[in-house]
Structure 1
């Protein structure tokens, strides 16, 4: 392969000619590609295509329905694929046909004029779960359940599972859902097979299109096989399909069987389904560009904090193409936080980030090489890893606190600051509480409950740890103006009045208590007004006037 050198202000970038000129590019109408690598590529010998599944960031460069996606081998041979889902955020999941012994493939995208591919991969491997929000309707029999799926129009997710044994929704917090499981079942021998489902609410099991188990209606999941069906099957690959509708509670569904020669009905094990493999994405390349910046991310962990979960993500950034010299990686994590890393190494750069609230985060990477800047943006939907919530693996709060303590809170949202303050209290980082609290009261407004919780902690630290009652009083009065809730505002003012009285400033305390009553008593009847009235009595007692205190 020929190599050329491109000089850029004091250092050199070495790039492969095929990226700059487009050699080896399958079709120049597709502007981007990303490699997909599988660790093993052996033929199973089963009917149909062996399958790999790839989940990758799209950079917002793929069409909303994924119609512009094409997958090829390194030699440019098209392989069949099926887009499983696009989103949430800038992410796409694809199943494609393996071509053993090929291990490296390319995913092409970024063609707005592309039509849908003519051939769609027929999936005959693994267990594919497809889930929609339950639209309502009867579920007493199979005909009614099919009607539910015809009406379902809120798609939640599609991915492969190890088996049909689940008690949660892996695609989100909803529990009123309807799911179809399609499994490529490997029957070990000829004979009569027993099948059973246990589920919360309706489930129906089909083999090769024939209904074998009918378990309709609203009911709980039984701990034993109650609904059982029998079918004679030949050795080899069969299509197993399970329809499940959950209208309430945790969406529990288990598919079980008893093959010939086995005495008991057991959950169908993962080994009974024809396997799939997971592919690993590489960095994006752009047609005609010698060097392209990109990043890949994954959810790395979560922790639990006072009725909320915090999420940790790991990011890996790199360049497609080769270079020699220094470059600067600048991250904007989409929540007001930024990070800059300068390196002279050509290997990928890693970092991690804690998100203090859920939602869509627009993450942007800018790589500066001399006078040139390369960038990549992905919208990440930050949320709990719903498919792993049953593992209950919570990371230490201290790990999260150490990362968050480095944040610039002046650019963070009020909700994120409030959550950070709660985190710092739990981990004893009092200086960080003060820094975050200072940033919080500089905001124009904040959600009432978040403000109340954070200000209680912040003010207590100012008084008890920093011996600064004046600052605590000023902060509480400022927060009272920020809140849109009269009840929270009155509570914050009453707390400020208490601190004023404790510090011996009875005049200020009387003024604050009186203002709280005058301003908010007509708007709320909560205990904060009662506390303000009691506070006025305490001021009179402090002054020795016990008659007025009554």
Structure 2
């Protein structure tokens, strides 16, 4: 056996005991895998070894191999000699480590494995313990997981069960822990695995509860027998998991419309006597103990009001709980009252057999010394615009070789990164291919895992991610290459940056969104761009926003819609009538019967110096509704807009104005709707544009009874910012309408 000299870790040195290793290269005090993992320690420990007078030994290492070189055995003897020779011999031993490590494999036909260490003291354990582990198999296992095996450190298979394949490349496996065993290995990657030697079935589970969920197959469930029959009809299994108790607040296997679950295991009761159980289930539930129905919960109350009693003796009893959910969250709860208690309490997890924890080790590949592997953590999530973004942390596992490795990442979202630990934000739930490449001493190894970006609902109670502020995610996404970002993310990028207080980044994402020709959801894109417009109107970025709308590609998914939006912004935000007409002309040719385009084009003609042509077009658009109700409805909408103006609610005011003009386009020619529109523009911060609209209409429709009021209002809007223009408008008012009382007043914004 070999025990590492302590001087390799923390001089002063201790003795080095050397003797022949056992077959399969297992070392009782310090096994090959551990020795291999101490490569850096050995290198840095040479100087300490040389100074250590307690180690006057050298080591002779001899590799005794089988015919294929796969069974490496090391014979290490105390030979005496110089200390540096001893140190170099240990370093030389590492050269054989890969071959020696291969000898402990259950069978080299299984290409991949991970070590599993169970957190259970050597003198503890009954042999009934069950452990559930989850790991990434890198897509290298059989699609159904039939090549997955679990073996102890002697290579002996232990009963196991593949609980779930996915999401992504993740695999969940449960296995039994024989008495006295703490180290195990999970294997996969054998194209011809054969039948598994032992499977873990529900009846053998005496530690924890096995939860199996299926899609609901229909039928009535009014008692335990009906539940059993319905279970047989529900064929499709959605997922399996080991759980600690009979409390559930959601479906752990995703958002299913209807599902049917069975919890099965054993229940330990501490004393003889009559036990009372109570249950609640959304929407049906039944508790069965030793084959007898104890509680039936027929509907969904807000408490555990359905109860039943059963006499039990001290010891373990078979328990099954059925749960059917037809809609909503699907919560369920079971409590008990023991013979020596007067109140109900949640059944402790120890009663079902507490499952020990386990540590899953790094990926190993048969015959390979440089293997890329990494850990995944859902580090945080941010909520914005009724949507979640997810922050994931990836940590590369350091190679078991000397040197300074370089870690390169493809984060599956079009972005690259370097470093042992990196973080990335994902703006939509889904499975993403994360690739790690490790470069070391001229060699390279890569591995890709498909990772699900979303909260882990299977372990929601213990793996709730941090609640990040949108600002934190905005900062990360703000550094991304937008051209390489998934196109379906772009609307969410716009909204994230708006909520995160970064309008410049939101505008940059909008530019990419408007110029894309890829596949996006037009409705979500429209909502994001409309919110951007709303937020930037009246700000220093208003002009850049209007220009951004002009970037929309005619052949893109937002082409026509974006051009309409730009025309509206040019009219009512910039009052640039010439550019509005240029934007609308191709739309008129492409969609000559689109009433919205016709209406906007007619208004632009009126304001842009072609009032007769604009009037003809607006008057040709049919009005909606019954003609006899037109005056009443138009008046009601005008009063509503006036109310919103008084409340400074220009957003709802403009929605009502748009509705009014859509119903009665020709009302625009009368002038009062133009006055209300100008007042709404002023309220949202576009006072100069409002003055331009008011003046343009007064000049285009001089006979309108509202023309004098519009000129007077425009003069008032410009009184502080452009006194010369304000004076010019007042002079024009006195010249054209000398008899109007407003001609005798000074400039005011009172309409």
Cα distance in 2, alignment partners of residues 184 and 520 from structure 1: 70
Following TM superposition, by how much is the alpha carbon of 1:136 offset from its aligned partner in structure 2, in angstroms? 2.2
**Equivalent position of 1:351 in the other structure:** 422
Give SS of 1:277's match. coil
Cα distance in 2, alignment partners of residues 57 and 197 from structure 1: 37
Counterparts of 1:324-343 in structure 2 under 5 Å?
324=403, 326-341=404-419
Going from structure 1 to structure 2, the CA distance change for 1:407 and 1:241 (only over 3 Å counts) comes to: same
Cα distance in 2, alignment partners of residues 381 and 13 from structure 1: 42
Following TM superposition, by how much is the alpha carbon of 1:24 offset from its aligned partner in structure 2, in angstroms? 2.2
Give SS of 2:311's match. strand
Going from structure 1 to structure 2, the CA distance change for 1:548 and 1:450 (only over 3 Å counts) comes to: farther
Counterparts of 1:81-92 in structure 2 under 5 Å?
81-92=160-171
RMSD: 3.2
**Equivalent position of 2:359 in the other structure:** 280
Structure number with higher relative contact order (C-alpha < 8 Å, ≥ 6 residues apart): 1
Cα distance in 1, alignment partners of residues 431 and 92 from structure 2: 35
Question: Are positions 1:126 and 2:208 aligned together?
Answer: yes
Question: Are positions 1:233 and 2:312 aligned together?
Answer: yes
Following TM superposition, by how much is the alpha carbon of 1:89 offset from its aligned partner in structure 2, in angstroms? 1.3
Counterparts of 1:144-183 in structure 2 under 5 Å?
144-183=226-265
**Equivalent position of 1:61 in the other structure:** 140
380-389 vs 203-212, greater mean Cα deviation: 380-389
Following TM superposition, by how much is the alpha carbon of 1:458 offset from its aligned partner in structure 2, in angstroms? 5.4
Cα distance in 1, alignment partners of residues 602 and 93 from structure 2: 75
2:434 corresponds to which of 339, 363, 368: 363
**Equivalent position of 1:302 in the other structure:** 381
- Maintained 8 Å contact 1:500/1:506: yes
- Maintained 8 Å contact 1:497/1:513: no
Going from structure 1 to structure 2, the CA distance change for 1:164 and 1:174 (only over 3 Å counts) comes to: same
**Equivalent position of 2:482 in the other structure:** 409
Q: Looking at CA atoms only, which structure, 1 or 2, has the larger radius of gyration?
A: 2
Following TM superposition, by how much is the alpha carbon of 1:415 offset from its aligned partner in structure 2, in angstroms? 2.2
Following TM superposition, by how much is the alpha carbon of 1:465 offset from its aligned partner in structure 2, in angstroms? 5.5
Counterparts of 1:29-108 in structure 2 under 5 Å?
29-41=109-121, 49-99=128-178, 101-108=180-187
Counterparts of 1:414-453 in structure 2 under 5 Å?
414-445=487-518, 446-453=520-527
Going from structure 1 to structure 2, the CA distance change for 1:292 and 1:221 (only over 3 Å counts) comes to: same
TM-score, scaled relative to structure 1: 0.86
Following TM superposition, by how much is the alpha carbon of 1:292 offset from its aligned partner in structure 2, in angstroms? 0.9
CA deviation vs aligned residue, 1:360-395 (integer Å, no higher than 9, x gap): 211111112243220011112223333466879632
**Equivalent position of 1:223 in the other structure:** 303
2:576 corresponds to which of 486, 505, 513: 505
Cα distance in 2, alignment partners of residues 474 and 205 from structure 1: 65
Cα distance in 2, alignment partners of residues 170 and 531 from structure 1: 51
Counterparts of 1:521-532 in structure 2 under 5 Å?
522=593
CA deviation vs aligned residue, 1:225-269 (integer Å, no higher than 9, x gap): 22x222221112222110111112221211122221112333323
CA deviation vs aligned residue, 1:383-414 (integer Å, no higher than 9, x gap): 33334668796322222122212211110122
Give SS of 2:554's match. helix
Number of paired residues? 527
**Equivalent position of 2:719 in the other structure:** none
Cα distance in 2, alignment partners of residues 104 and 377 from structure 1: 27
Cα distance in 1, alignment partners of residues 465 and 376 from structure 2: 22
Give SS of 2:552's match. helix
Cα distance in 2, alignment partners of residues 351 and 359 from structure 1: 19
Going from structure 1 to structure 2, the CA distance change for 1:374 and 1:176 (only over 3 Å counts) comes to: same
Question: Are positions 1:545 and 2:700 aligned together?
Answer: yes
**Equivalent position of 1:318 in the other structure:** 397
Cα distance in 1, alignment partners of residues 438 and 279 from structure 2: 53
Greater share of strand? 1
**Equivalent position of 1:268 in the other structure:** 347
Give SS of 1:380's match. strand
TM-score, scaled relative to structure 2: 0.64
Cα distance in 2, alignment partners of residues 106 and 528 from structure 1: 68
Give SS of 1:303's match. strand
Cα distance in 1, alignment partners of residues 228 and 501 from structure 2: 55
